Amino acid sequence: MYALSVVHSRAQVGIQAIPVTIEVHLTGGLPSLSIVGLPEAAVKESKDRVRSALLNAQFDFPLQRVTINLAPADLPKEGGRFDLAIAIGILAASGQLNSQQLADYEFIGELALSGEVRPVRGVLPVAMAVRDKQRKLVVPLDNAHEASMVRNTPILPVKHLLEICAHLQGAAPISPYSVDCVPHPTHVRHAIDLSEVRGQHHAKRALEVAAAGGHNLLMLGPPGTGKTMLASRMATILPPMTEEEALETAAISSIANQGFDPQTWGHRPFRAPHHTASAIALVGGGSQPRPGEISLAHHGILFLDELPEFDKKVLEVLREPLESNRIVISRAARQAEFPAHFQLIAAMNPCPCGYLGDPRCHCSVEQIRRYRSRLSGPLLDRIDLHIEVPNLPRTELRAETVRESSADVRQRVVNARQVQLQRNGKPNSHLNNRDIEQYCRLSANDERLLDAAINQLGLSARAWHRILKVARTIADLANSEQINTAHLTEAITYRRMERMK
């Protein structure tokens, strides 16, 4: 009889699936079961779930002293994800299961008292980690479709403890789960289209520039001018996601409270939190850190409507992730890092009532100043394009003109992005100071033009760099190797909105 068995599983820490080795040791003495290795409440309770599951599956529960070690010992363990691995370890240590094959498998799943295997959160990051280890992954049947999104990872779906035991004993082998076809992200279809937006040609052009270079965008205009319509159609003109980007986005959804929805595979996320959202809702947190809205928008769009209505402290937490594209959440016992490579699209009214310049507006100068001062200069500096979205005359709204579709605009965006990746290895929005000196050179006349604009508008050095990045993107859309005066002038117009102080 085996007195010791070793089973492999994974713990969830942020977006990472950390390997956990489950060691089960049987010794003589009074019957007992103890779990060591920093187990939290749900893990401690697994001993009762596992005991009932084994007995109801007609296995013998060893009448010995059972010690279960979850290594590494200094890593906190939470949830019911280790139930299946613990049960397999007990069966192997007690000689009811052959333990020679266990090194080739990893187990994830929660057990019901009947022995059924229930789904858990965060299976996709586990499948990505197991792919690199070249092991087979045993998952609950309800998680199999999610895990199968990771190619070249053998996924064994189980609905009951008896199924995996029969497989390991060679009595009833389980066939690896496979879907008919995991769609490539380039095949994504959108239900909305940019052609549905009438007029607003300047705003559509700004969307195209923002999409091509990965720039952040702020739209200012009265209610009902189409700011939300434009923002919601931004995703339809962005370049298709790569398979690795789609996996990263799906992995974040997998560990979030709502879980991963296979129907959203390959779709760039569009997150639009309400202006009453807290800082924790935006950046993530909790005693067991979960991703916030900025991480759920990874490789997609974070749309903040009514921007000045957000609490100022909430907006200020965006400053760091807008630069670093990640967020680190620190707690006394642990630290979790989440990716946050998102594109910020924001919208706001010109004054508290929204009708500045209209007879309906009764906002005082002081009210307007206080309203706009909710946005700090450092935050606005990190937004590359500032545009106005004005009211349109009825004649333009009714005009039956040919409007470009999202597919037409997206093709230009894709071409410009490919130029950037070949030249820089990254979108223009991520150029550093050295890259700007190398790829954003101006003629002497254009340098004087930019200096005059910076002085007149009172912009910072960061804003100066961002104007050059936007000009580089405009030149790429025009298929121009050099930034010329027209490209620079257009980039400057995107910063000419009155400073929000």
CATH number of 134's domain? 3.30.230.10
**Confidence at 259, pLDDT banded by 50, 70, 90:** confident
Tens of pLDDT along 296-332?
999 999 999 999 999 999 999 999 999 889 998 877 6
Given this model, what pLDDT does residue 501 score?
A: 47
Mean pLDDT of 163-177: 93
Task: Give the pLDDT score at 498.
Answer: 47
The number of C-alpha atoms within 13 Å of 75 and in the hemisphere containing its C-beta is 18
Ranking 165-179, 214-228, 308-322, 396-410 by mean pLDDT, the lowest is: 396-410
Query: Does 341 fall in a domain?
Result: yes
In a domain, 25, yes or no: yes
* Residues 398 and 473 placed together within one structural domain of the fold: yes
How far apart are alpha carbons 334 and 417 in whole angstroms? 38
The percentage of the chain sitting over the pLDDT mark of 70, rounded to a whole number, equals 95
Indicate whether 469 and 334 sit together in one domain.
yes
Confidence band for 439, pLDDT divided at 50, 70 and 90: very high
- Tell me the three state secondary structure of residue 16: strand
Task: Say if 498 falls within a structural domain.
Answer: no
More confident residue, 286 or 304: 304
Residue 487 contacts residue 475 (beta carbons within 8 Å): yes
pLDDT at 181 over 70: no
> Rounded to an integer, what distance in angstroms lies between the CA atom of residue 214 and that of residue 300?
10
Q: Residues 276, 419: one domain?
A: yes
Beta bridge partners of 111: 117
**Minimum mean pLDDT among 124-133, 273-282, 390-399, 463-472: which range?**
390-399
Q: Is 153 a member of any domain?
A: yes
Percentage of the chain with pLDDT > 90?
69
How many degrees, rounded to 5, is the angle at CA 393 between CA 390 and CA 396?
Answer: 105
What is the average pLDDT score of the chain? 90
Domain with 20 in it = 4-168
**222 in the same domain as 89:** no
Question: Are the C-beta atoms of residues 449 and 471 closer than 8 Å to each other?
Answer: no
If residue 433 lies in a helix (H) or strand (E), which one and from where to where? helix 433-439
Residue 175 falls inside a structural domain: no
At which residue do the structure tokens 């879980």 appear? Answer: 259
Calpha distance 32→51 (Å, rounded):
11
Question: On the CB side of 214, how many CA atoms lie within 13 Å of its CA?
Answer: 20
Last residue of a domain, one of 100, 133, 168: 168
Both 206 and 78 in a single domain? no
Check whether residue 236 and residue 140 sit in a common domain. Answer: no
Structural contact between residues 157 and 141, judged by C-beta atoms closer than 8 angstroms: yes
Which has more confidence, 265 or 126?
A: 126
Residue 179 belongs to a domain: no
458 and 326 fall within a common domain: yes
Mean predicted confidence (pLDDT) in 128-132:
90
* Coil, strand or helix at 401: coil
> Residue 361 phi/psi, 5° resolution?
-80, 125
Q: Do residues 452 and 373 share a domain?
A: yes
Q: Quick one: 253 and 291 in the same domain?
A: yes
344: CATH: 3.40.50.300
pLDDT in tens, 216-233: 999 999 998 889 999 999
Could you give the number of structural domains in the chain?
2
Indicate whether 177 belongs to any domain. Answer: no
Instruction: Indicate whether 159 and 197 sit together in one domain.
Output: no
User: Of 115, 141, 168, which residue is a domain's last?
Assistant: 168
Cis peptide before 72 (omega within 30 of 0): yes
- 163 & 230 share domain: no
Q: At 86, which helix (H) or strand (E)? A: helix 83-93
**What is the torsion angle, in degrees rounded to the nearest 10, for the CA atoms of residue 312, residue 315, residue 316 and residue 321?**
170
What residues pair up with 205 in beta bridges, in sequence order? none
With cut-offs at 50, 70 and 90, classify the pLDDT of residue 1.
very low
| pLDDT for position 500 | 47
Same domain for 102 and 148: yes
Going by pLDDT thresholds of 50, 70 and 90, the confidence category of residue 187 is low
Q: Is 263 within 8 Å of 309 (Cβ atoms)? A: no
Section 190-198 average pLDDT: 87
Average pLDDT, stretch 466-470? 95
Is the predicted pLDDT of residue 333 greater than 70, yes or no? Answer: no
166, 176, 169: which is closest to 139 by C-alpha? 176
Mean per-residue pLDDT for 399-404? 73
Residue 55 belongs to a domain: yes
> Of 168, 199, 222, which residue sits at a domain end?
168
